[in-house]
Amino acid sequence: MKTAVRWLGRIVVVVIGLVLVLQLYFFAMVGWYAHHDPSTTSFMRTQMALAEAKTPGLKMQRQWVPYARICDNLKRAVITSEDARFAEHEGVDWDAVSKAYESNEKVGNEKVENAKNAGQKKRRVAARIHGGSTITQQLAKNLFLSNERSYLRKGQELVIAYMLEFWMTKQRILELYLNVIEWGNGVFGAEAAAHHYFGVSAAELDASQAAELAVMLPNPRFYDTHRGSPYLARRSEVIARWMGDAELP
């Protein structure tokens, strides 16, 4: 018994040590990215592997541009659509996280109830982790993590988000985000997106074009092939009206 407890204690110490080493790695890499532009990200590599499996020979479209060469229209539109309190929070908008959690719990409960009403065997429905993510959190996921939906991945995302806010200015966070975010099948970053959809540079986007790109972000591959979506048009008009109030870093 004592031997088993001793080995269990050693395993726990090793696991804690590995977790700490991983956090130190993330902390050091965030510090590096504060001053160096990433060539690719974890999310880019994963998405390109999936895209190439469906479309062999697909080439990544991406061109890094500095913050000053991305128009304010796009910056305001993305902040309005994705993270209205970007300039205020410290990486995580806990009010938004709480609302997203409540929404996910409601969805899970409704699925259980529907299963019961249909006479199916009652089963536990895992809560879907979505919504409530700030621009900083999305950047954390893009740089280092996967698109997996789990509490463990979400927890790591929160930790890295605070690291990003520690090392970087809001302007640098937004610059990185706009240069690495996915905007279509093999399309990453504002410059590639502007050329792909409108044939202009990221510096030349007008308000309506910027609003449309911002609305695409939650589901860019879908909108890449459904550009005539009525929802996309309606939501873009709303963002275009609101984006003038967005606070830029």
For 35-47, b where at least 16 C-beta lie within 10 A, e where not — what string? Answer: eeebeebebbeeb
Task: For residue 11, give the H/E element and its range.
Answer: helix 2-33
158 located within any domain: yes
Q: Please say whether the beta carbons of 91 and 162 come within 8 A.
A: yes
Q: Taking Cα atoms as reference points, which of 9, 100, 78 lies closest to residue 242?
A: 78
The 10s digit of each residue's pLDDT in 103-113 is: 555 544 444 34
Q: Please say whether the beta carbons of 217 and 78 come within 8 A.
A: yes
The predicted model gives 194-222 an average pLDDT of 96
Mean residue pLDDT of the chain comes to 85
The 10s digit of each residue's pLDDT in 113-131 is: 444 444 443 332 223 334 5
The predicted model gives 203-220 an average pLDDT of 96
The predicted model gives 129-149 an average pLDDT of 83
Distances (CA, A) of 108 to 18, 112, 126: 33, 6, 7
Given a cut of 80, is residue 99 above it in pLDDT?
Answer: no
8 located within any domain: yes
Residue-level pLDDT at 214: 97
23 located within any domain: yes
157 located within any domain: yes
Q: Return the axis-axis angle of helices 135-144 and 151-167, rounded to nearest 10°.
A: 110
CATH of the domain at 192: 1.10.3810.10
The three-class DSSP label of residue 85 is coil
Range of the domain at 199: 2-93+132-245
125 located within any domain: no
Residue-level pLDDT at 103: 55
Residue-level pLDDT at 185: 92
127 located within any domain: no
The 10s digit of each residue's pLDDT in 168-205 is: 999 999 999 999 999 999 999 999 999 999 999 999 99
Residue-level pLDDT at 1: 66
The predicted model gives 163-168 an average pLDDT of 96
Given a cut of 50, is residue 77 above it in pLDDT?
Answer: yes
Specify the number of domains making up the chain: 1
116 located within any domain: no
Given a cut of 50, is residue 229 above it in pLDDT?
Answer: yes
